Amino acid sequence: MLDEIVEKTKERVEQAKKLVPLEDLKKEVSTMEINDEFSFKKALKEDGISIIAEVKKASPSKGLIAEDFDYVAIAKDYEQAGASAISVLTEPFFFMGSDDYLSEIAENISIPLLRKDFVVDEYMIWEAKLLGASAILLIVSVLDVVQLKKYLDLAHKLGLSAIVETHDGDEIRKAMIVGAEIIGVNNRNLKDFTVDINNSINLRRCVSGDVVFISESGIKTKEDVTRLKENDVDAVLIGETLMKSDDKKSMIAELKNG
């Protein structure tokens, strides 16, 4: 499935380049303000465990998650409930996402946004900036070390943070080599979709304390959040649990007080 998502994303990028060439995209971004505040990273370094709340309509493993999908209203609920940042799925084929979701949410909230798409080309980083993102996702199992370093440096040049996503110790070492300032550990194996939050707990010791450490996937209860907090995890990225909740504000409050 991972390979399918990557290949489909590459096709999508090539189509986008035909509509808006990279040089034109760069010209548009050049008119934007670029600062070095890195609001996404800053938000995750606040006291306590931070919650990155995900706006997600579907996933490859679960299919359709939210049939009634008022993405702007969901994002507003997350912000009002005290989420530190919001993750927005923009991949259309496997996650039923859209770039429009990100740009419209960016117009309506003030907390930092992660463009949750599998970056496979520098074009997508320029896109993310233009769409209003504060951060992007770089997946170690998708990119080689040269690509990781190149894309990480470009993100920082554009004032974007980058979650460098890993799944095991070898991938964490690669993330550290390229100078990742934010490392995410995906508790979901992207090959077979099994989930275990102990993956984050076991790998926390591999990452130095000055790097922001995020646990992703499979976090469902306040007890999960408490365990991760007790093991020095800085932030959690939560999608399905929140999307399936009828009262997202109360759910975030419960998780934050775990």
**Catalytic amino acids?**
54, 56, 116, 165, 186, 216-217
CA angle 105, 228, 173 (to 5 degrees): 85
- Rounded-to-integer distance, Cα 15 and Cα 17, Å: 5
For residue 17, the number of C-alpha atoms closer than 13 Å in the C-beta half-sphere is 13
Q: How far is CA 212 from the centre of its chain?
A: 13
* Residue for token pair 């999508």: 12
For residue 223, the number of C-alpha atoms closer than 13 Å in the C-beta half-sphere is 1
Question: Tokens standing for 219?
Answer: 């976090």
Q: Which helix (H) or strand (E) holds 77?
A: helix 71-81
